[in-house]
Amino acid sequence: MSIRDTPKPIRADAARNRARLLDAARIAFASEAPVSLKQIARDTGVGIGTLYRHFPTREALVEAIYQQELDQLCAEAEALLRIEDPAHALRSWMDRFADYASTRQETADALRAVLASDIVTASPARAQLRAAVQAILDAGTAAGTLRDDVHAEDIVVTLVGMFTTTSSAGGRGQLGRMLDLLMDAVRCPAA
């Protein structure tokens, strides 16, 4: 590897600005009011140029928020397994996926575009989701509550498909019913 191939370290102030921009955007997007990128920059105390250096498009900002929340969501799979049986842990994890993905009105369309793009089909995000689901499936197979022929990849693709095709009119209720159907498909039949 040459010196040219080594990534340039991020300055501490730039890293702080990026983190503050993400925090401000998360709060702004959670509100019911429309959000402008200029307002997010103002709320953070930086110029719009700083925001665009970190996030060249609105979608890039949404993607970064999505990635942070995805990291947290995937980490929750193991935590759920410590407090719930695997079948309930999987359903709880699906609910958490649905909650964070569907409750942000301002970012819903942008997040749908992110989910439908190569971002979720690309290996890093998809691998994260697959690993979280696989941990729960493995525990469920060992406990005899989840089928052993279910592939984590199939669960991930189904979840993404459910979210991207669920209408905002049907909302969380419709998505919940669909998740129940998916759970019925992955549970072991009663002995």
Q: What is the pLDDT of residues 36-50, one digit of tens each?
A: 899 999 999 999 999
**Shared domain check, 153 and 94:** yes
Domain assignment present for residue 144? The answer is yes
User: Does the pLDDT of residue 7 top 70, yes or no?
Assistant: no
CATH number for the domain that contains residue 94:
1.10.357.10
**pLDDT digits over 103-153, tens only?**
554 455 555 565 566 555 555 778 888 999 999 999 999 999 999 999 999
- 3-class DSSP state of 187: strand
| Percent with pLDDT over 70 in the chain | 80
What's the CATH code of the domain at 31?
A: 1.10.10
120 and 169 inside one domain: yes
Domain containing 40 equals 10-56
- From residue 139, alpha-carbon distances to 2, 79, 92, 94, 191 in Å are 44, 13, 15, 16, 18
Shared domain for 50 and 65, answered yes or no, is no
| 66-115 residue pLDDT tens | 788 888 889 999 999 999 999 999 999 999 888 766 655 445 555 556 55
Amino acid at 3: I
- Mark whether 33 and 72 lie in a shared domain: no
Q: Is the domain of 86 the same as that of 138? A: yes
In a domain, 118, yes or no: yes
Helix (H, G, I), strand (E, B) or coil at 177: helix
- pLDDT at 107 (0 to 100): 54
Looking at the structure, tell me whether residues 50 and 84 fall in a common domain: no
One DSSP character per residue, 136-148 reads HHHHHHHHTSB-T
User: What is the average per-residue pLDDT within 171-188?
Assistant: 90
pLDDT at residue 133, as a whole number: 96
Tell me, what's the pLDDT at 66?
Answer: 78
Q: Which residue has the higher pLDDT, 102 or 177?
A: 177
Is the same domain home to 19 and 67?
Answer: no
Query: Is residue 85 situated within a structural domain?
Result: yes
pLDDT score for 82:
95
- CB of 147 within 8 A of CB of 188? yes
